[in-house]
Structure 1
Amino acid sequence: MISWLIQTLGGDVVKDKPAEYAIWEESGLDWTLVRPPRLIDGPRSDKPLEHDAHRSTRSASITRADLGAFLLDVVERDPYPRAAPFVATPRR
């Protein structure tokens, strides 16, 4: 539902996303585009983060601490080469 709202109400910000993704795919570079939802303050979660390259997460927010930890994991382990995963703090 949130994805639909963003696409419907996002206007120019959202309409260029497919073109942006195509440019990255054609670049020949190694890349990962991390797609977080709303950023909030809070501690790092003690549960595994929700993340998937093909589906939006169920949660609509992520703590800055969780996003930082996920970004470090992406740099260190490269679990999503040439992909754009959604990531979120799990619901409590």
Structure 2
Amino acid sequence: MLLALYGPREPEAMGAALLRLHGGGPMSGPARQDNTACSAFADELGLVVVSVGYRLAPRHPFPAAIDDGYTVWSSMVDRVAVRYSLYCV
């Protein structure tokens, strides 16, 4: 699994994160197809964008792509909880 991270040009504006799963219906397309959109989201919204290059079908059958996205999302939530001493359910 490949992750791409995008941050705003003004890091002091950073305060949130967006998990981006590229289009392609878990069967086609690389995460890099959304580089321009992810950079724009980061700059315009002042947040970090995490783009997941999930495993694709048919080589990796359902629910591999969903599992990859969930793994990254779960890790993001865990890191925020630790950083801000939150309990997440």
What is the TM-score normalised by the length of structure 2? 0.30
